[in-house]
A and B are shown apart, each in its own frame.
Chain A
Amino acid sequence: MNAITIRDLSVFYRTPFGMVKVLDGLDADFEEGRTVGVVGESGSGKSTLGFAITRLLPPAGSAKGSIRFYDTELLSLPQKRMREIRGTGIFMVMQDPFSSLNPVKRVRDQLIEALQVKYERRGEDLDVPRAEKEALKRLSDVKLPDPDLMMLKYPHQLSGGQIQRVVIAMGLLLEPRVMIADEPTSALDVSIQAQVIALMKELQQNYGMTLIFVTHDLAVASAVSDRILILYAGKVLEFGDVEGVIKEPLHPYTQGLLKSFPAGSYKDHELYSLKGMPPSFFDLPPGCRFSPRCPYAFDRCTKEEPRLVQVNGRLVRCFLYDKSAEQ
C-alpha cells in the first residue's frame, strides 16, 4: 500500500527569463510505514519535491502530473481540502528553520495549536493541561534544554538548530501519516541527530508513519531509510533498497557519491571527487544530464536521455543498463 504515489510529476517555475522545468516527469512510490531517503545535492530539486507534495510551491511555481495521497489526488484538490490534509495527513519539516514558525507566537502556543488541530480532526476535545504535558514531553524528547522555559520563548530567541527541533517536536505531536523532512538534521549536532532519527523511527513503529527524508548526506540517509532515491538535476537516477544502493550502487553518480565519502587518512589516499558541478536548469546538457561528469559516458549518453529501467528490483536511469534500441 503506497502512502504517496507520484506519476509523471513536472514542476515549473516562472522566471523573468522564461519557464524552468525543475522536476521532469518524475515517478516515485512511497510505501506506507517505510522510509525513503531522497538524496540529492543542492540544485537537484529535492526541496521542490517536498513543496510539490504539500502544495506549498511559491507563486511562481506550478506542478503538473499526479500526486496521490492514498486514494486522494492532491494536485487537483481544492485549497480547503488540501489544508485539511496538511498537518495530520502530511507534515513537512522545512529546510529553512526560520520560516517554519510563526514569529509572533510563543512556542507553547504554536505547539498547542498543532495539538488542537490533531484533536479536532479526531473528534476529541482538547484538554489544555494534558496538551501542555504532551508538548513538554516532545520538547525534551528532541533534547531541547529547559523545555519549560523553551515553551515561553519566541522563535527569534532561538537558534536555527533549536527552531528545527521545535518543528520536529510539532511533527511528533501531530502524528502525521506522512512526514516529509527536508534536511532536518543538518543544523544539529551529531548526538542530537541520532536522537531525532530515533524519534522519527519510533513514530514509524508506533503509528506506521511514512517518512520521506530529504538530504544531501548519503550516510545519514543510509542510517535512516529503507529505500534510497537518488535525485540529480530533477531526475531520478537510482531507486532501490538501501542495502543494494549502498553496497552495490549501479548508477555512476551513486558510485561517485559513495566513493567521495571521507574514510581513512589522507596519508593513504586522495579522496575521490566527482569532477565538475551539477548543471543549471537553464542550461541542461543534451542527453543524459549526468553525462558531462560521468567517467563511463559514451556516445549515446550525450544524444539521448536514458529511461528508468528495472535491474534486480532496482530502478536505474543509465545507458549502461538501458539496452533499448537507439532512437
Chain B
Amino acid sequence: MDIIKKAVGFRGDVDAAANTGVPQNLTTWYYMFHKKEAVTGMAIIVVFLVWSALEGTMQALAYYVRRPNLGWVLLPHDPLASPNPALSLRPPSLAYPFGTNLNGQDILSRLLYAAPKDAAAAMVVVFSAVVIGGLLGVMAGYYGGWTDEILMRVTDAFLAFPGLVLAIALSMLIGPGFDSVLISLTIIWWPIYARLFRGQTLTLKYRGFVEVSRLFGVSQLRVLFKHIFMNAIDPVLAYMALDFGTVILTYSTLAFLGIGIQPPYPEWGSMSSDGLSFFPSAWWYTLFPSATILLVVIGFILVGDSLQDALSGRVSDR
C-alpha cells in the first residue's frame, strides 16, 4: 500500500510522475476506490449489474426449462400475479416495501424483475455502438477521402435529429417488442461513437508510433487495430460509462411513452407512467420506479465523471 501511495496525482510534471515508478493504472484504481463520488457510483452500479445478471439468468433459465416461476423465485412476490383488487394500491408496508400497483402487484418485485432488461439494453446498445461506430470511424479517419465524406454526411443526418424523436420514429417503423427497441437504439447510438473514433484517429494516424510501424512493415490491419483503435478507445471509455446511464434513461423514457413494452411484463419507464395518474394520492406508484431510474443513472454518471477526472489527471482532494 505504501508503494501505491508514492505516486503523483498532480498535473504537470510527467517526469516527476515517472520517477515514482508507480504505473498510471494503479493511480487510477486508487483514485476510483477512494473518492466518495466514485465509490458511491460504483456501489450502485455493482449492485445493479450483479442483480441484473443473477435475475436475468434466472429468467433465461425459466424460459428454457419452461418453469416460469423460476423467474420470480428470488423476488418477494410474484411480479406477474393475477390482478387482485383486494391488494390494489396499498401503500408501502413491511410486506410490500414499495407498495402495490393498481393490479395489486408488488412494485418492488416488479422493479427487480424488470431490472435485467435495462441492464441488457445498456450493455447491448453501448457495446454495439462502440463496435460499429469504432469500425466505421477508424476506417473513415484513417483512409479519408470518399469513405470519410460519406461517413460524415451520414452521421450528420443522424445527429441532426433529437435522439428521442428518432428513437420513437424508428421503433414505430421496426415494430413492437424489446428487440426492436434495442435495434432502434443501436441505430441512433452509433453515429456519435463514429465521430469520436474518427476524431481520435485523425490525430493518432500521424503519431510517431504509427509511422514507425509502417516502416517496420507491420500489416495495415494490425496497425489499425492495435495502434489506432486501442488508443482511440481510451478517451471514449469514460464517455461510455456515462452513456450506459443515458441509454437506460432513453430506454425508460420510451417505455414511459409506451414504446417497446409488452404487457404484462413490467418496465421501469412504463411503471412510472402508469403511476402518474394516481399521483399524489398513491404517490408510491410513480415515485419508486422514477427514483430507481434516477438512482441507477446517477450511479453511472458518478462513475463516468470520476473516471474522466482520474484519466485526465484533474485530481484533487474533496
Q: In the complex, which residues of chain B have a beta carbon less than 8 angstroms from the beta carbon of A14?
A: 10, 316-317
A70 contacts the other chain (CB 8 A): no
Q: In the complex, which residues of chain B have a beta carbon less than 8 angstroms from the beta carbon of A43?
A: 13, 15-16, 19
With A60-B315, A60-B317, A280-B20 as known contacts, state yes or no: A17 contacts B15, CB within 8 Å: no
Q: In the complex, which residues of chain A have a beta carbon less than 8 angstroms from the beta carbon of B15?
A: 42-43, 278
Q: How far is the CB of B318 from chain A (nearest CB, A)?
A: 9
A residues engaging B (CB < 8 A)? 13-18, 20, 42-43, 47, 58-61, 277-283
Name the residue among A16, A18, A47 with the largest chain B CB count within 10 angstroms.
A16
B207 contacts the other chain (CB 8 A): no
A15 touches B9 (CB 8 A): yes
Q: How far is the CB of B284 from chain A (nearest CB, A)?
A: 41
B19 touches A278 (CB 8 A): yes
Cα separation A50 to B19 with both chains bound (whole Å) = 22
B251 contacts the other chain (CB 8 A): no
A-B contact count (CB 8 A): 68
With A60-B315, A279-B19, A283-B20 as known contacts, state yes or no: A16 contacts B12, CB within 8 Å: no
With A15-B9, A43-B13, A282-B7 as known contacts, state yes or no: A277 contacts B34, CB within 8 Å: no
Q: In the complex, which residues of chain A have a beta carbon less than 8 angstroms from the beta carbon of B150?
A: none
Q: In the complex, which residues of chain A have a beta carbon less than 8 angstroms from the beta carbon of B31?
A: 16
A60 touches B10 (CB 8 A): yes
A282 touches B20 (CB 8 A): yes
B35 contacts the other chain (CB 8 A): yes
Cα separation A156 to B191 with both chains bound (whole Å) = 26
Q: In the complex, which residues of chain A have a beta carbon less than 8 angstroms from the beta carbon of B6?
A: 17, 280, 282-283
Q: In the complex, which residues of chain A have a beta carbon less than 8 angstroms from the beta carbon of B7?
A: 15, 17, 282
Q: In the complex, which residues of chain A have a beta carbon less than 8 angstroms from the beta carbon of B10?
A: 13-15, 20, 58, 60-61
Q: In the complex, which residues of chain A have a beta carbon less than 8 angstroms from the beta carbon of B316?
A: 14, 58-60
Q: How far is the CB of B13 from chain A (nearest CB, A)?
A: 5
Cα separation A323 to B19 with both chains bound (whole Å) = 32
Cα separation A42 to B12 with both chains bound (whole Å) = 10
B225 contacts the other chain (CB 8 A): no
Given contacts A16-B31, A18-B5, A58-B11, 17 further A-B contacts (CB under 8 A): A13-B9, A14-B10, A15-B10, A16-B317, A17-B4, A20-B8, A43-B16, A47-B12, A58-B10, A58-B12, A58-B316, A60-B9, A280-B6, A280-B8, A281-B8, A281-B16, A282-B7
A17 touches B19 (CB 8 A): no
For chain B, residues 132 to 176, give those with C-beta under 8 angstroms from any C-beta of chain A. Answer: none
A280 touches B30 (CB 8 A): no
Q: In the complex, which residues of chain A have a beta carbon less than 8 angstroms from the beta carbon of B12?
A: 47, 58
Cα separation A42 to B27 with both chains bound (whole Å) = 21
B residues engaging A (CB < 8 A)? 4-16, 19-20, 27, 30-31, 34-35, 315-317
Cα separation A251 to B213 with both chains bound (whole Å) = 45
Q: In the complex, which residues of chain B have a beta carbon less than 8 angstroms from the beta carbon of A17?
A: 4-7, 9, 30
Look across to chain B and name the residue whose beta carbon is closest to the beta carbon of A51.
B12
A16 touches B9 (CB 8 A): yes
B315 touches A15 (CB 8 A): yes
Cα separation A13 to B13 with both chains bound (whole Å) = 12
Look across to chain A and name the residue whose beta carbon is closest to the beta carbon of B20.
A280
Cα separation A47 to B11 with both chains bound (whole Å) = 12
B19 touches A277 (CB 8 A): yes
Cα separation A280 to B5 with both chains bound (whole Å) = 13
Q: How far is the CB of A218 from chain B (nearest CB, A)?
A: 18
5 closest A-B pairs by CB: A15-B9, A280-B19, A43-B16, A60-B316, A42-B15
Cα separation A224 to B88 with both chains bound (whole Å) = 86
Q: How far is the CB of A289 from chain B (nearest CB, A)?
A: 13
Look across to chain A and name the residue whose beta carbon is closest to the beta carbon of B15.
A42
Q: In the complex, which residues of chain B have a beta carbon less than 8 angstroms from the beta carbon of A279?
A: 19
Cα separation A283 to B16 with both chains bound (whole Å) = 11
Cα separation A281 to B16 with both chains bound (whole Å) = 8
With A278-B19, A280-B19 as known contacts, state yes or no: A15 contacts B13, CB within 8 Å: no
B8 touches A15 (CB 8 A): yes
Q: In the complex, which residues of chain B have a beta carbon less than 8 angstroms from the beta carbon of A282?
A: 5-8, 20
Look across to chain A and name the residue whose beta carbon is closest to the beta carbon of B11.
A58
Cα separation A283 to B278 with both chains bound (whole Å) = 64
Look across to chain A and name the residue whose beta carbon is closest to the beta carbon of B315.
A16
Look across to chain A and name the residue whose beta carbon is closest to the beta carbon of B6.
A282
Q: In the complex, which residues of chain B have a beta carbon less than 8 angstroms from the beta carbon of A13?
A: 9-10
Look across to chain B and name the residue whose beta carbon is closest to the beta carbon of A19.
B317
Look across to chain B and name the residue whose beta carbon is closest to the beta carbon of A282.
B6
> What are 12 residue pairs bridging A and B, where the CB atoms are less than 8 Å apart in the complex?
A14-B316, A15-B317, A16-B35, A17-B5, A18-B5, A47-B12, A58-B10, A58-B11, A58-B12, A277-B19, A278-B16, A282-B8
Name the residue among A17, A18, A42, A279 with the largest chain B CB count within 10 angstroms.
A17
Look across to chain A and name the residue whose beta carbon is closest to the beta carbon of B33.
A16
Cα separation A281 to B18 with both chains bound (whole Å) = 11
Q: How far is the CB of B105 from chain A (nearest CB, A)?
A: 46
Cα separation A14 to B192 with both chains bound (whole Å) = 36
Look across to chain A and name the residue whose beta carbon is closest to the beta carbon of B13.
A43
Q: In the complex, which residues of chain A have a beta carbon less than 8 angstroms from the beta carbon of B8?
A: 15, 20, 280-282
Q: How far is the CB of A32 from chain B (nearest CB, A)?
A: 30
Cα separation A278 to B17 with both chains bound (whole Å) = 11
- Choose from A16, A58, A280 the contact partner of B16 (Cβ within 8 Å): A280
